[in-house]
Amino acid sequence: MKLKQIISAGLTATILSTGAVYAQTAAPASAQVVVINTAIAQLPKVIAMVESLKAEGYTYIEIRRTFLGRAKIVATGPMGVREIVMSTATNEIMRDSVRSTTVNGVQTGMQPPTPPATHPATPHVPTPPAVPMPHS
């Protein structure tokens, strides 16, 4: 009977310790926070916003000040690139937008936009050569 309890306790301890290892490896990687303006980054509302973005899975967060003195937070994560602009005077969120970095479910990364294609109905017409003018 004691042997069963010892084996049972040993197996339970092994299973629980293995679960702890899985729980530790399943935790999301910490976010890289780049601070361009330290005064803006120290505001309580900005700190709370950064912590919220980390909890949502954003892995790169940049904090800067806009020309008008607002806080601008740009974060890259699973939903794409999120840009938040908030007033430092009133803590009001002025803008909160997300740009997706996936096309048809495939991760594309942040690439520059492609130039618009020329319309097939307007073909390129070459410029005629210059004709010399007669002298009078």
Contact 80, 98 (CB under 8 A): yes
pTM of the model: 0.56
Render pLDDT for 69-109 as a digit per residue (tens, 0 to 9): 999 999 998 888 999 999 999 999 999 999 987 666 665 55
Contacts of 32 (CB under 8 A, 6+ apart): 59, 60, 61
Comparing CA positions, the residue from 78, 41, 74, 73 lying closest to residue 58 is 78
What's the pLDDT score for residue 38? Answer: 92
Name the residue type at position 10: G
Is it the case that residue 53 has pLDDT exceeding 90?
yes
Mean pLDDT across the chain: 73
| Domain residue ranges of the chain, discontinuous segments joined by + | 25-101
